[in-house]
Amino acid sequence: MISRRKSLQTIAAGFGAAIGSSMFPEISRAASAASSGGPKRVIFFMQNQGFDPATCIPVGMNSSGSLAKAVLPEPIAALEPFKDKLHIINGLHGKHTSPSHSAFFGALGGYRGSDGVPPSASTIDYELSKVLPETLLPHLCIGMDSMENMTAKPTVANLSARGAGKPIFMHSNPNHLYQMLYGGISQGDIRNQHEARSGMLDRIEKMAAAKGEALPMSDKQRYGEFVQGFNDMNGLRERLGNVSDHLKHFAPEVDERYTKPQFETDWHDTLLDLGISALKSGTTSVLTIGSGRGEIFGAWKGLGIEKQGHNLGHMEQPDNPIWVKIRQYNSRMLVKLMEELESVPEGSGTMMDNTLIVYTSNNADKQHTSGANWPVMLLGNCNGAFKTGCFTQLDGKRPINALYTSILRSTGVEVDRFNMTDKMAAKYDSGNGPLREVLA
């Protein structure tokens, strides 16, 4: 096992001052700083078509209480060994997000969203990526869909945003993502692609810089950001390349699932592997997983589910063999995430001790929904910052924005509301500040 401390030592020995903490700040912070509570990284797992509470709340559990003696329902039974890290929350709402047929950006933004509606503000995952310990690639979004959609439309943007009108694209082709993350340490075609793109970006940067020399002073700063953008793009590739020895320990094996996938779930799995590797290597602090990519379609043929897309959303989820399979698949992914992060020491514990996973749906509780109930599962207590091992039944009067406020608070951001004006809150939020039921 490669410990985080060992990783740092490897880097320091291999690259000395040329790399330094500024090149890989998160690793150095993680290695040197004692855990002080609150997450160092956050994962959002957004399954489309709704998250029916009956598929996660233990039978007979009608009010808030401990999960210790409860038996988790079949769809999420894989999480049974992780019950002490689990917090099932029922009774948040998203009525203001118009989640029927997906709230799109509104699911993570806490505002009205719909098909074709651009983001009206930044989303929580992006905001967290700005305040969590700095990493080379602070925010990584991956989107899982049918094979046809992932190949014909490898980059779509439906869930995350940097601000109003600023969508963030999801990566859906694992080959492209692998090339971006590990092109510098790969061989063959991927290596060639990586080098060609690096060379091209380098030239673009030089040309852009040359065209900026004659600019008036007032424009230089603004244009400088444009040139700096290439520097950042090149810098990311270069810095990832510079720590390639370190990354080698985390890079997944490229196998036929990448190049000759049998089902879309092969790509789902490889995308997850890449996401996990980015977290473990300290490259990323926020991972957003869009299963169904924020829309109301998607396919899981690798699970033996022949039906796909829209119809799945019309089905009742509880006791439905199709939905049991999809939710079980999600749960296995969550388990994999946790086990992988537990395998890496961090501070006096493991990476998982400093990680929060938010599992929910961009569709609230079902495809055609008013958003009156928006079930969520949290995994990870982040050194005691979050309450875990319990089920909480809320009264449906606090919005998902309050959950996002809670997570922001846990990272030290003093905020009472997230993306909700006082005027909207007067209508949609019975409280103010974080959810006391969530933060320890």
Partner 1 sequence: MKGQFRLNPPLGIRALVQTRKPKLEQRNERLRVNAPSSITVKDKFLSYCKFHRLRTMISCKSTFHPVTLAVTICYFLIPSVHSADDTYTPGQPVHGDFENFAVTFLENHCYECHDDESTKGDLNLLDLGPADETNAAVWKSVWAQVALGEMPPKKKDQPETIERLQFSDRIVDELKEVMKDKGGFHAHLDPHKGNFIDHNLLFGPLPEGIKLEPTSSPARIWRVTPQEHITRLNELINTEPAFDPEKPGVRTRGDVVPTNHGGELKLYFGTDRIIKWQGGTVAYATSVKSVPVVLASARHHGLENYPDFYTVNSAEATQILGMAENILRYMAYGPLSIANPEQITDDPNSYKMEGDIRGLPTALVYNTKVVRPLTPVYDLMKESEFTDERLRAAVDFLFEALTFRPPSTKESNDYLVMVKDTIAKIGREDGAFMGLSSIFLDRDALFRPELVETGKADEYGRIMLQDWELGLAVNHALRYIKPDQKLREAIVSGKMRTREDVNREITRMLADDAIRKPRILRFFRDFFDHDLGGYICKDEKALSATGVRSRGESHYRAMFDATASTDRLIELILEEDKNVLKELLTTQKVVATKNDNTYFGRKHTDEERKIAIAAKKKAQQEQEEKDAAELKTAKAELDELVAKAKENPDDKKLARTLVQKEKALQSLKKKIANAKKERNRGGGANVEVAEANLSGPKIYARVSRPSFGSGSMKPDRVLATAPEGERMGILTQPSWLVSHSDAMDNHAILRGRWVRERLLGGGVPDVPITVDAMLPDEPNTTLRSRMRVTREKYCWTCHEKMDPLGLPFEMYNHAGIFRTTELSEPVDTSGEIIDSGDPNLDGPVENALDMIQKLAESERVEQVFVRHAFRFWMGRNETLNDAPVLQEAHKAYRDNDGSMKALITSLVTSDAFLHRKAE
Long-range contacts of 422-427 (CB under 8 A, 24+ apart): 424/96, 427/96
Give me the helices (H) in 183-303, please: 188-210, 217-242, 244-248, 256-259, 264-280
Q: Residue 6: left if φ>0, alpha if ψ -120 to 50, beta else—which one? A: alpha
How many CB atoms sit inside 10 A of residue 255's CB? 10
13 binding partner 1? (CB under 8 A): no
Q: Please, which residue, 17 or 152, has the CB nearer to partner 1?
A: 152
Minimum CB–partner distance for residue 374 and partner 1 (Å): 17
296 binding partner 1? (CB under 8 A): yes
Give the residue carrying structure tokens 């007979």.
60
Site for partner 1 in 121-150 (CB under 8 A): 146, 148-149
60 binding partner 1? (CB under 8 A): no
How many CB atoms sit inside 10 A of residue 38's CB? 21
Q: What are phi and psi of 35, to 5 degrees?
A: -65, 130
Give the residue carrying structure tokens 């709402």.
93
415 binding partner 1? (CB under 8 A): no
Q: Which stretch binds partner 1 (CB under 8 A): 62-70, 115-123, 337-345, 404-412?
A: 115-123
301 binding partner 1? (CB under 8 A): no
187 binding partner 1? (CB under 8 A): no
96 binding partner 1? (CB under 8 A): yes
304 binding partner 1? (CB under 8 A): no
192 binding partner 1? (CB under 8 A): yes
Q: Which stretch binds partner 1 (CB under 8 A): 34-42, 197-205, 266-274, 407-415?
A: 197-205
Site for partner 1 in 232-251 (CB under 8 A): 232-233
193 binding partner 1? (CB under 8 A): yes
d(CA 23, CA 108): 30
Minimum CB–partner distance for residue 339 and partner 1 (Å): 32
Minimum CB–partner distance for residue 323 and partner 1 (Å): 16
* Single residue of 223, 238, 325, 372 touching partner 1 by CB under 8 A: 223
1 binding partner 1? (CB under 8 A): no
Output the six-digit token pair for 384. 């005691």
Output the six-digit token pair for 401. 């924005």
* Single residue of 33, 71, 200, 415 touching partner 1 by CB under 8 A: 200
Q: Three-class SS of residue 41?
A: strand
Q: Are strands 349-350 and 345-346 parallel, antiparallel or unpaired?
A: antiparallel
Q: What are phi and psi of 57, to 5 degrees?
A: -85, 130
Q: What is the DSSP string of 404-418?
A: HHHHHHHTT---S-S
Q: Which stretch binds partner 1 (CB under 8 A): 24-32, 59-67, 218-226, 253-261?
A: 218-226
213 binding partner 1? (CB under 8 A): no
120 binding partner 1? (CB under 8 A): yes
Minimum CB–partner distance for residue 118 and partner 1 (Å): 5
Q: Which stretch binds partner 1 (CB under 8 A): 39-47, 215-223, 268-276, 430-438?
A: 215-223
CA of residue 98 relative to chain centroid, distance: 22
Give the residue carrying structure tokens 């890496």.
344
Contact in structure between 141 and 170 (CB atoms under 8 Å) = yes
178 binding partner 1? (CB under 8 A): no
Site for partner 1 in 309-348 (CB under 8 A): 309-311
* Single residue of 267, 297, 391, 418 touching partner 1 by CB under 8 A: 297
Minimum CB–partner distance for residue 230 and partner 1 (Å): 7
Output the CA torsion 375→292→354→40 (10° steps).
-110
303 binding partner 1? (CB under 8 A): no
* Single residue of 207, 321, 415, 432 touching partner 1 by CB under 8 A: 207
68 binding partner 1? (CB under 8 A): no
Q: Residue 160: left if φ>0, alpha if ψ -120 to 50, beta else—which one? A: beta
